[in-house]
Amino acid sequence: MKKIIFFLLVLFCSCNKEKTKAITKATPKQIPEQAPYFGQIKSNDVKLAEPVYGDWLYSRKEKGQTFEQYFRSKHIIPAEDSNIIYILPIGNFNTLQKKQIKLANEYLEIYFQLKTKTLDPISNDVVPNSARRMMDGHEQLLAGYLLTDVLKEQKPSKRIALMGLSELDLYPKPEWNYVFGLASYHDKIGVSSIYRLQDGELTSENFDLCLSRLLKISSHEIGHMFGLHHCITANCVMNGTNSMYETDKNTIRLCSVCQQKLNSCIQYDNKKRLEDLEKYFIRNNLTDGFQLMKKDRDVIK
């Protein structure tokens, strides 16, 4: 009897090894030939400057991500049952802030070329006192709690990505002062805060600048959910950022390589997306963004 059991165990292990070998020897996905569009707009990429003290890359040695690495990686891909991006406002928002959320929704729908919806706001009361603290006279919420205990429980129909947008400041752990945003790429959820984007108070005078910041932060975080790593070669919206100064310095444009990554995932019409973005920027008085899109459109043949 013992010999029979031993034989069965050996046979089971052998079968598993054969399956493992078969998986290992599977033909890797064929890297697609680069479309002319990406080569054309590459001429508008701006090489990332050497980092200085205070910059994200000054103290972080990131490896970056090539297109081939992205293409062969595991990341979400839109499907019939998962193709909608959701925004979940958390807190109490005034009229100007609600307008910015609406414009961010419109932008993300164009940027990712996927349907984007804003859910009804939820109260800050969902966060217990154990996940709150006071810092320099204002309240902060624990970003990790919002991810695991609030956003993870939200399962709207056909969700491919969900971004919480907090009215209050966020912190990731006790030893950190604050964080702009945090995401769980495995769960396809993230949270960002508008608190530090608004220079203390959102007004009609700083509205455009603050909107630009929100568009950068939200597209960056959701870009991570689609598998894009930080860009370390060109000035790109996927650059890491340590401060509001660095956020303002970084472009709102996705560089040619990162555009190729996103397009290989979502497979939208590159020219249509570019034209849609150009119209959005001019319609909302975001001159810098408009000039960048126009510059790309001018080099497309």
Check whether residue 89 and residue 207 sit in a common domain.
yes
Other beta carbons less than 10 A from residue 221's beta carbon:
21
Do 184 and 58 fall into the same domain? no
Q: Given the residues 201, 221, 246, 275, select the one marked as catalytic.
A: 221
123 and 205 co-located in one domain: yes
Q: Which tokens sit at 99?
A: 């307008």
Query: Average pLDDT in the 274-281 region?
Result: 98
Residue 115 sits in the same domain as residue 158: yes
Token pair listed for 202: 């959102």
Same domain assignment for residues 210 and 253: no
d(CA 238, CA 220): 5
Assess whether 216 and 91 both reside in one domain: yes
- Kindly state the average pLDDT of the residues 68-87: 96
Task: Categorize the per-residue pLDDT at 10 as very low, low, confident or very high, splitting at 50, 70 and 90.
Answer: very low
pLDDT for the residue numbered 185: 81
Domain annotation covers residue 5: no
Cα atoms found within 13 Å of the Cα of residue 82, Cβ hemisphere only = 11
User: Is residue 17 a part of any domain in this protein?
Assistant: no
pTM of the model: 0.87
Q: Does 129 share its domain with 193?
A: yes
Residue 17 has pLDDT above 90, yes or no: no
The answer as to whether 210 is a domain residue is yes
Chain segment 193-243, per-residue pLDDT in tens: 999 999 989 999 999 999 999 999 999 999 999 999 999 999 999 999 988
d(CA 283, CA 72): 38
Q: What is the pLDDT of residue 28?
A: 54
pLDDT at 20: 35
**One domain for residues 82 and 222:** yes
Checking if the pLDDT of 263 tops 90, the result is yes
Q: What is the DSSP letter of 42?
A: G
Which of 14-18, 54-58, 236-240 has the weakest average pLDDT?
14-18
Instruction: Give the rounded percent of residues in the chain with a pLDDT score beyond 70.
Output: 91
- Considering the domain architecture, whether residues 167 and 291 belong to the same structural domain is answered as no
Strand order in the sheet with 138-142: 132-135, 138-142, 169-171
Q: What is the residue type of 148?
A: T
Q: Is 221 a catalytic residue?
A: yes
My answer on whether 124 and 42 are in the same domain is no
Residues 215 and 81 in one domain: yes
**Residue finishing a domain among 226, 245, 278:** 226
Q: How many angstroms separate the CA atoms of 211 and 157, rounded?
A: 28
The pLDDT, as a whole number, for residue 301 is 80
Phi, psi torsion values for 171, nearest 5 degrees: -135, 145
CATH number of the domain bearing residue 100: 3.40.390.10
Lowest mean pLDDT among 20-29, 91-100, 122-131, 286-295: 20-29
Q: Are 185 and 210 in contact (CB under 8 A)?
A: no
Domain housing 138: 77-226
Instruction: Check residue 184 and give its pLDDT.
Output: 85
Q: What distance in Å separates the CA atoms of residue 63 and residue 229, rounded to the nearest whole number?
A: 9
Q: Does one domain contain both 197 and 246?
A: no
Domain total of the chain? 2
Q: What is the pLDDT of residues 154-165, one digit of tens each?
A: 999 999 999 999
The answer to whether residue 99 scores a pLDDT higher than 50 is yes
End residue of a domain, out of 226, 259, 283: 226
The Cα–Cα gap between 91 and 172 comes to 18
